[in-house]
Amino acid sequence: MMQLKNGEIDTFTVEPADFMTFQTAYMAFEFRKRIIGKAEKNGTVIYHYDHDQTQ
């Protein structure tokens, strides 16, 4: 998630089988409210970081 925040990557994908592991890390991430997910078919979620949001 820090790679998203730092602009090193634009998106990352979480597959349904990995969601619970991701959720644990997500909840501990300080800037989680700026990580935006879009659900795709079959439960895959693609996340990006909202760099434009005011703090």
Q: What is the pLDDT of residues 6-20, one digit of tens each?
A: 999 999 999 999 999
Asked whether the whole model's pTM tops 0.95, one would answer no
Q: Is the separation of the CB atoms in 29 and 23 below 8 Å?
A: no
pLDDT at residue 41 above 80? yes
Q: Which residue has the tokens 């634009």?
A: 10
pLDDT at residue 55 above 80? no
3-class DSSP assignment, residue 39: strand
pLDDT value of residue 52? 83
